[in-house]
Amino acid sequence: MLCYSTFMDNRKYLADLRRRMPNRPSHKIEARSYKNASGVDELIYLPTGYWNYVEWAEKNTEIDFADWVVHCDTNPSEGFCLSHLLMYWLWTDECNRFRQGLPTPHPYPPMGYEGWADEFHGANHQ
């Protein structure tokens, strides 16, 4: 299970995501092509569960993942590839939606939510 330790900042969590990905069908890595900030096709590698969230979010919210790809490509985070940065954005979006009581694809919090909620928002969402 991935866990966002209360002693990790977002950069440490991104690094932790790289090395501790669970071996489950929802975490099988898939690649999909999106235009980057230069208009060039770039493969985005995300676990299946994250792609499921992309599809859910595009259908049920105002999120346009293609816009996120361009934004993250234009505003990189040093030491992290575009795919990992997008994975963090998706995870953070789902955490924020869950904390705010907005619809999410699951009735339970995203993996790692508890430590994130404690560190950044003072309490777990109940």
pLDDT of residue 70: 98
Rounded Cα gap, residues 13 and 92, in angstroms: 11
The reply to whether 5 falls in a domain is no
Rounded Cα gap, residues 29 and 114, in angstroms: 24
The reply to whether 2 falls in a domain is no
The reply to whether 74 falls in a domain is yes
pTM of the model: 0.74
What's the angle, vertex CA 98, arms to CA 114 and CA 33, rounded to 5? Answer: 100
pLDDT of residue 120: 56
The reply to whether 25 falls in a domain is yes
Q: Which domain holds residue 55?
A: 10-121
Rounded Cα gap, residues 45 and 59, in angstroms: 20
pLDDT of residue 109: 87
Sign of dihedral through CA atoms 66, 23, 115, 124? positive
Rounded Cα gap, residues 58 and 20, in angstroms: 27
pLDDT of residue 6: 47
Total of domains in the chain: 1
pLDDT tens digits, the chain, 126 residues: what are they?
Answer: 343 444 556 667 666 666 665 556 667 889 999 999 999 999 999 999 999 999 999 999 999 999 999 999 999 988 889 999 999 999 999 999 998 999 999 998 888 777 655 555 554 444
